[in-house]
Structure formats: structure tokens, C-alpha cells
Amino acid sequence: MHDKKEHFMEDYKDKKIAVLLSGGVDSSVVVYELARQGLHPDCFYIKIGPEEQEEWDCSSEEDLEMATAVAARYGCKLQVVDCHKEYWEQVTKYTMDKVRNGFTPNPDVMCNRLIKFGAFNEKSGQDYDLIATGHYARTEIEDGRKWLVTSPDPVKDQTDFLAQIYDWQLRKAFFPIGHYMKDEVREIARREHLVNAKRRDSQGICFLGKINYNDYIRRYLGENPGDVLEFETGKKIGMHRGLWFHTIGQRHGLGFGGGPWYAVKKDMERNVLYVSKGYDPQMAYKKDFPIHDFHFLTCDPWGEATSVHVTFKIRHTPEYHPAQLERTGNGEFTVHSECPIHGVAPGQFCVIYDENHHRCIGSGEIAWG
């Protein structure tokens, strides 16, 4: 730990640092970590409220109170940056465009690219050398190139949420608590008597807190009822309220008797949801699937190779799956997983890591296949 501390000081003592302070425990410990090293960052609270305050349940007022208290305790300036318009115009537009076309989006991934390291940088972050956040992720530099590296805490690791940021955003990104386990961060908060030490981690969509995802979708796209058919027999099981409320591999919330049922296919043209019965239907699994629009975080490390050994994940889980990644075109690959993967859904991001799941290479969107 001592070596890490000295290296930390050497790297960052002359840098101008902005901290994105959310009011949660992680970003608050970031401020503590910097302050104890003698650094005095400027803190910023990104304001993104519900579109219409009276209709949505939101804890942003409490978040801002917590952020204000933490900044004041460590003698840091706190400024509120309003990214409300950008969030609803960019992140919500991306989300609705995807679900309208039958895809499974990830608003949290795009929020990092478009808002935390995007709109914030345009408004305030451009005046700083580094933007520090409470993400559980690390970085390393080799031959002058900065790489995104996984956290030692596999449960909390958030590199998958950062796998779409641009290379210039990664160069400015700084993750001061990325080397800690979550329990260690909680312990620091308790030991230092931080005002939010016992506060629960936020759940739900980035910045929208307690808003229900289906309510969020319904608000923009409404409902579009259609048939639910058993995949194997074509027998009608019931009705759905809109294909956009369902994702491939879904089991909970289907609401049909005689199950369990899994959502296994969407027919967008006919507005039909296909389901399969059983606790583990084979239709819910895939070993081979295409990804496109691949985004390299730092650079393409594979040169001319057409097939490489990698690990990957398609959702925020602790497991990394081994696979062969086959290059099929410009920004296009096919993932050949060693094991069948549950719930592979077009629109999800497939995040690619090296064989030892140490470096995050980048991510691509799962395509129809």
C-alpha cells in the first residue's frame, strides 16, 4: 500500500483534478483519498432530474446535501453542473431508439460516454487535467498508452460500464478507489465518519434512481399489445403489452401460468413474443454470436490476427467467460464462447477483455444472428 501511495502522489500532485461527487459513498471516499494526499480537487455535482419533478420519485435533493457536506468537510469547492437537457436528449434518445427496434440497450454505459465524460467535460471538465470518479476500475500505462484495467473486486468491477468511453476520455479518467474492495471503501467511510457511510448503493438507471425501467419506457413508447406464442408449438400463451418491455432470456415478470417461461425470440414485424417452457430451455442459450461497431478503448492490440483468445461478459456479473474472438470485418467480430451463455440479446454490449481479464480491450454491440 505504501508504494502505491508514493506512486499516486508522484503521478497526480501537479494535476488539476475535478471530482464528480454524486453524494454516494464511493465518490465521497474519492474526495477523502485525494485530500489525505494533500490534493485539493474541485468537486462537481452533475444535476440530472426527472423530466417532470412532480411525476417522478427522485432522491437528488438528498444527494446534493450529502455532496455539499463532503466537499465542505475537506475544504473543496462544489459546483452544480446541469446536464439535464443533454441526458434526456442523448441518453434517453439512444435508449428509446434501441428498444423501439427490438434491441436491449444499456443506458448506464452510454451515460458514462455522453454525460459523465462527455457533456460534463464540455461544460466544466475541459479546464481540468483529470476527471476523478468513484468507479471500481483501474488504469495502467504502457509505452505511453493508457489502458482500462479491472478492479480487484469482481462483484463491483465497473469496467463494463466504461467500455464505450472514447480514448481521450480514458486519458482524462482517474479512479482513485479502483484498487479497493467495496468492503474496504465502506470501512474507510465508517472510520472517517463520512455523512453517507451507511447509505445504500444507488440502484436503477444512471441518475434516475428509483424510476422503474418499464415506466421509463412506457412514458416514451406507450404500449403495443401483441401475441405471445410458445416457440416450439406456435400455441398462443397470452398477450404482451409491448415487445420493448421484454428482453431475450427474461424469465421474471412474464406473468403466464403453467411455466416457468423464458422469452427466447422477438418478431418485430409481426409484434410477436416467443417463449419457451422449462427451467433451462436450450433456446435461452448461445455459444456463437456476432458483434458489430466494435469500439477499442485504447487501440487494436491484435494487429493482423483474425482469431484471438479473450474473455468477455454481456451483463454486469462477476464472471468472465473464455472465448475465441473471430474478426469478420471492419469493427465486426464473432464471439465463440467455450460455454453456452444465457440470454444473449441484440443491442447488449459484449465487453471484451484479455485472456486473464486484466485489461478491458473494448466492446461491441450484439447483432441479430
Q: Say yes or no: 265 and 327 in one domain.
A: no
Whether the per-residue pLDDT at 10 is higher than 60: the answer is no
- Predicted pLDDT at 255: 82
Q: Which structural domain range is residue 361 located in?
A: 283-366
Quote the CA–CA distance of 112 and 135 in Å, as a whole number: 10
Number of domains in the chain: 3
Q: Say yes or no: 332 and 247 in one domain.
A: no
- Predicted pLDDT at 278: 78
- Predicted pLDDT at 12: 80
Burial of 157 (0-12, 13-18, 19+ CB in 10 A): buried
Does residue 213 form part of some domain? no
CATH number of the structural domain spanning residue 82: 3.40.50.620
Q: Say yes or no: 12 and 114 in one domain.
A: yes
Does residue 146 form part of some domain? no
pLDDT, tens digit, for every residue of 271-299?
999 999 876 777 779 999 999 999 999 99
Mean pLDDT within 44-50: 85
Among 25-29, 145-149, 175-179, 246-250, whose mean pLDDT is lowest?
A: 246-250
- Predicted pLDDT at 2: 39
Does residue 140 form part of some domain? no
pLDDT, tens digit, for every residue of 158-212?
999 999 999 999 999 999 999 999 999 999 999 999 999 998 887 666 766 667 8
- Predicted pLDDT at 4: 43
Q: Say yes or no: 311 and 232 in one domain.
A: no
Q: Say yes or no: 287 and 273 in one domain.
A: no
Q: Say yes or no: 291 and 270 in one domain.
A: no
CATH number of the structural domain spanning residue 236: 2.30.30.280
Known catalytic residues are: 111, 206
Residue after which a domain boundary falls, among 279, 299, 324? 279
Does residue 58 form part of some domain? yes
Q: Say yes or no: 269 and 307 in one domain.
A: no
- Predicted pLDDT at 185: 97
Q: What is the mean pLDDT of the chain?
A: 91
Does residue 203 form part of some domain? no
Does residue 211 form part of some domain? no
CATH number of the structural domain spanning residue 350: 2.40.30.10
276: left (phi over 0), alpha (psi -120 to 50) or beta: beta
Whether the per-residue pLDDT at 349 is higher than 90: the answer is yes
Q: Please, are residues 297 and 304 in contact by the beta-carbon 8 Å criterion?
A: no
Give the confidence band of 369 by pLDDT, cuts at 50, 70, 90.
confident
Cell of 217: 419506457
Q: Say yes or no: 231 and 309 in one domain.
A: no
- Predicted pLDDT at 203: 64
Quote the CA–CA distance of 363 and 118 in Å, as a whole number: 18
- Predicted pLDDT at 59: 64
Residues 6+ apart with CB under 8 A from 61: none
Q: Say yes or no: 107 and 232 in one domain.
A: no
Q: Please, are residues 57 and 210 in contact by the beta-carbon 8 Å criterion?
A: yes
Position with higher pLDDT, 66 vs 259: 66
Q: What's the one-letter identity of residue 84?
A: H
Among 55-64, 316-325, 327-336, whose mean pLDDT is lowest?
A: 55-64
Position with higher pLDDT, 50 vs 110: 110
Torsion sign across C-alpha atoms 68, 153, 353, 3: positive
Q: Say yes or no: 242 and 326 in one domain.
A: no
Q: Say yes or no: 238 and 351 in one domain.
A: no
Whether the per-residue pLDDT at 232 is higher than 50: the answer is yes
pLDDT, tens digit, for every residue of 124-168?
999 999 999 999 999 999 999 999 999 999 999 999 999 999 999
Helix, strand or coil, per DSSP, at residue 101: coil
Q: Say yes or no: 187 and 40 in one domain.
A: yes
- Predicted pLDDT at 200: 83
pLDDT, tens digit, for every residue of 72-116?
999 999 999 999 899 989 999 999 999 999 999 999 999 999 999
CA dihedral 56, 62, 65, 69 (to 10 degrees): -150
Confirm whether pTM is higher than 0.95: no
Does residue 114 form part of some domain? yes
Mean pLDDT within 335-359: 96
Give the confidence band of 5 by pLDDT, cuts at 50, 70, 90.
very low
Residue after which a domain boundary falls, among 279, 308, 325? 279
Does residue 59 form part of some domain? yes
Identify the bridge partners of residue 174 per DSSP, sorted by sequence position: 132
- Predicted pLDDT at 201: 80
Residue after which a domain boundary falls, among 232, 247, 279? 279
Whether the per-residue pLDDT at 359 is higher than 50: the answer is yes
